Amino acid sequence: MSAQSQSLEAKLKALQCHFTWDLDPSRSKLFRLRDKLEDIGTEEGNRWLGHIYNLQGHIHYQLGLIDDSRRFFSKAAEAFRQIRNTGSDEGPWLLVNYGNQAWLHHHQGEEAESRAYLSKVDALMSEYPSPSQDELHPEVYAEKAWTLMKFRADQKLLAVDYFQRAIRMQPDMVEWQTSQVLCSVNALKHSNKELDADMFEKMRIAKDQDPENLYLAVQYLGQLAKRGEEIEDDARELARKVLRNPASSDSGIKALLRLYRHHDTIDEAIDLAEEALEKHPDERFLKRCAALCYKWKIIFFSDSDPKQSMIDRAISLHKDLISLYPHSSLVKKIDLANIYAKSKNGLVKAEQIYQELLERDLEPSDRQMLYNSYAKYLNFDRQDRHKSVKYHMKAAAMPIQSFFRDNSIKTLEKIQERGKNRMCREIREFLANLEEP
């Protein structure tokens, strides 16, 4: 490598952009995230549109879709110019985008273009230095925080810290404050803990400052419910507002449906999802919401004894979703199998779907999820306790830290504690020898 090439490589590595933020997940995760971002509304006024397109550009690059990557990076630059609307075409909000474009050109062997973007980054950093010495520009912190929030579930607390740094230097950005609060709340999503008083107050202030953010409003209602307050009337009023808004995954509707589920008003959730879908019949995200509600009703509200017509509706929606999300449909296929298992004469079809999935060449994390799901299906739907234990062991033995591994380990521990299964000694030995990932 020539000295000139080494110099270019060193400058590229020093950039703050998606190519230097260690965003390197599995292909299945990339496809899921791509679909998730596509379901976010791109209507005018979305303050995160430039960030969405930047991340889409990087995802498409990692998937080998170079032309799409170029297109999204160009859309990101244009979106930032329109959203910031400062009278200037350029500003510090383009630092990450120009870094991305420098890397993309470099990877394509277009060194002159890469150097041109490096020069643009240098010019922006010179014209718009960070307000705090030895720290990144707040615009960079905010974009890095937003990206980690979407990309890495295990880095939400780091994202909160980056948002805090950005806000400290540039406190007038309402969307940064909202996102920091949401990120803090989402870090506790899978626990039943109440927010502490300080965080709850920050959430209330953010809601008052950002009254149009219905997703935040729904999350706030959920926290009120955890504090024992009656929220049913407020939830219904919020549902009317959500239905009036454009269909989008950040509209708050999915969070609202989850709120309904946790308060045992699953039938209202189904009605709301169907009403939204009737207004926007071609929105695949709303089909996901409706399918999710039917899955909850059929699988988790088992005492409800759902009618076959409801099961048929759930099957139809899930089949649609599998074709609408062809590259990220594993979970939807598992859900379809579990719904078939609850239908009349559906066990044969359910087993067929599971066997097809078990024979597929899946990435380890997806295979672990499949083993855990199949173990539950074997236990609850086929009453095959012995085989169920075997598949929980398969999931637990995979050295990948996840909800599914933890769930299988807890299930095996409970079976052992009850002491009624003929495999108790085998389970005990297995758990004693289990290695931490």
Distances in whole angstroms, Cα of residue 275 to Cα of each of 148, 280, 417: 33, 9, 46
Tell me the pLDDT of the chain (437 aa) as tens digits: 455 666 899 999 999 999 999 998 899 999 999 999 999 987 766 889 999 999 999 999 999 999 999 999 999 999 999 888 766 678 999 999 999 999 999 999 999 999 999 999 999 999 999 998 899 999 999 999 999 998 877 788 899 999 999 999 999 999 999 999 999 988 877 566 678 899 999 999 999 999 999 999 999 999 999 889 999 999 999 999 999 988 888 889 999 999 999 887 899 999 999 999 999 999 999 999 999 999 999 998 866 678 899 999 999 999 999 999 999 999 999 999 999 999 988 999 999 999 999 999 999 999 999 999 999 999 999 999 999 999 999 999 999 999 999 999 999 999 999 987 888 999 999 999 998 77
Q: What is the DSSP string of 98-109?
A: HHHHHHHHHHTT
State residue 2's pLDDT score. Answer: 52
- Tell me how far apart the alpha carbons of residues 22 and 45 are, in angstroms, rounded to a whole number: 30
Report pLDDT for 79: 93
* Contact criterion met (CB below 8 Å) for 193 and 183: no
Q: Give residue 164's pLDDT.
A: 96
* Nearest-angstrom CA–CA distance, 164 and 150: 17
CA-CA distance, 311 to 332, in Å (whole number)? 15
> Which two three-digit tokens encode residue 160?
């909160």
Name the residue ranges covered by the structural domains of the chain: 361-437
Q: Residue 5's pLDDT is what?
A: 64
CA distance linking residue 143 with residue 262, whole number of Å: 33
| Residue carrying structure tokens 């109440």 | 194
The set of residues, in sequence order, having a beta carbon less than 8 Å from that of 150 and lying 6+ positions away, is 33, 36, 37, 55
Helical spans, DSSP H, in 283-384: 284-295, 308-324, 330-342, 347-358, 364-380
Strand, coil or helix: 243: helix
Q: Which two tokens stand for residue 217?
A: 């409003």
* DSSP string covering 295-323: HIIIII-GGG---HHHHHHHHHHHHHHHH
Q: Look at phi and psi of residue 128 and say left if phi exceeds 0, alpha if psi is from -120 to 50, else beta.
A: beta
Using alpha carbons, select from 213, 295, 297, 201 the residue that is nearest to residue 255: 213
Nearest-angstrom CA–CA distance, 352 and 315:
15
**pLDDT at residue 304, as a whole number:** 61
- CA–CA separation, 164 and 269 (whole Å): 35
Dist. CA 326–CA 346, nearest whole Å: 23
End-to-end CA distance of the chain: 39
pLDDT of residue 436: 79
| H/E segment holding residue 9 | helix 3-13
Please report the pLDDT score of residue 132 as a whole number: 87
The whole-angstrom separation of Cα 377 and Cα 374 is 5
